[in-house]
Amino acid sequence: MRFDSRHINSKLTASEGEDLFQPFTKNLSSLSGSIGVTHDINEYVTVKANASKGFRAPNMAELAANGEHEGTFRYEIGNRQLKSEDSYSFDLGLDVNTQHVSLNLSPYFSHISNYIYFRKLQTDTGADSTINEVPVYQFTQQSANMYGVEASLDIHPHPLDWLHFENSFSYVRGKFTQPVDGSGNLPLIPPMKLLTELRAEFPHQLKTFRNFYAKAEMNNVWAQDHFFSGYNTETGTPSYILFNAGIGSDLYFGGAKRATIVLALNNIGNVAYQDFLNRLRYAPENPVTGRVGVFEMGRNFTARIIIPFEWRVK
């Protein structure tokens, strides 16, 4: 159990004779806590259950912003009437660990009172509101529910202990308790993802190259069709699949570790994609490519060498 109390005192700020930030004082407090239980069904299987209450006070940007956010191409306006967020959450867990398989499954549900989010402002005619040709967004709040599941599966068959087939899956859905401008979806909710990795590890088999590993990855990201369309705040993103690969090892000479080397190749297929949580998706059109918004990095090769230094003081 814990108790939080936040006191915010904002002073008047002016620039070139214009008042930018009005003074205000705000006091916020809440009680938080959690309780859980774990039960070992046998030596391989464990189940868990947790219930909790959380608290988050609005930050200064959410309360008092009044200007263009250069990193997101938005003009943001705060809301001094915001209340603190209170969440009530419940989650379950299943852990299975055997000689050949490790499995984790964690579904969860959370109700959030006064969920803080931003929405695009519009003019009386329904067009996007702008200041200096920059779209205007304002922070507001509404009660919401979030639910989903996280899962991981690691297969390491005996006697091939050096081989790992790892999978991690995540799915989350966020919905307002009451639709906002006809949309029930929360903003900034990531799409469903599945990361699959085939990894070979040789910790001690090689004399010079110890802790050697080689891996290949497939990152499968679904389309996000459950976006916050109210007031034209968000747009969806299509699905994409990325392939990555890498090797790494510790280098030993004279019985001592001399360096660590890591080589990685990401987005092997040079796929053009946008992450749904990329806040630069709404940047102006690129005149070179003709595409709207900033895209993620294409094919990327990295090489890293780590040389350890040891200092002794006698």
Q: What is the pLDDT of residue 20?
A: 81
Bond prior to 187 in cis (omega within 30° of 0): no
CA angle (67 as vertex; 65, 70 as ends), nearest 5? 110
d(CA 110, CA 167): 25
- Please indicate, yes or no, if residue 311 is contained in any of the structural domains: no
Q: What is the pLDDT of residue 16?
A: 81
d(CA 76, CA 65): 6
Q: What is the pLDDT of residue 52?
A: 97
Q: Structural domain of residue 10, as residue ranges?
A: 2-306
Q: In total, how many domains does the chain have?
A: 1
- Please indicate, yes or no, if residue 82 is contained in any of the structural domains: yes
- Please indicate, yes or no, if residue 313 is contained in any of the structural domains: no
- Please indicate, yes or no, if residue 312 is contained in any of the structural domains: no
Of 25, 50, 185, 46, nearest in space to 110 by CA:
50
CATH code, 296: 2.40.170.20
CA angle (298 as vertex; 217, 197 as ends), nearest 5? 5
Q: What is the pLDDT of residue 50?
A: 98
- Please indicate, yes or no, if residue 113 is contained in any of the structural domains: yes
Q: What is the pLDDT of residue 7?
A: 93
Q: Is the CB of residue 104 less than 8 Å from the CB of residue 93?
A: yes
Helices vs strands, H then E, count in the chain: 1, 18
pTM, to two decimals: 0.87
Q: What are phi and psi of 190, to 5 degrees?
A: -70, 155
- Please indicate, yes or no, if residue 70 is contained in any of the structural domains: yes
Query: Which mean pLDDT values do the consecutive 10-residue runs of the chain (314 residues) have?
Result: 93 84 91 97 97 95 91 91 96 95 97 96 88 93 98 89 93 97 96 97 82 96 97 95 96 87 97 94 86 92 91 74
What Rg, from alpha-carbon coordinates, does the chain have?
25
Q: What is the pLDDT of residue 127?
A: 87
Q: Is the CB of residue 53 less than 8 Å from the CB of residue 32?
A: yes
d(CA 22, CA 41): 59
Q: What is the pLDDT of residue 135?
A: 92
Q: Is the CB of residue 84 less than 8 Å from the CB of residue 143?
A: no
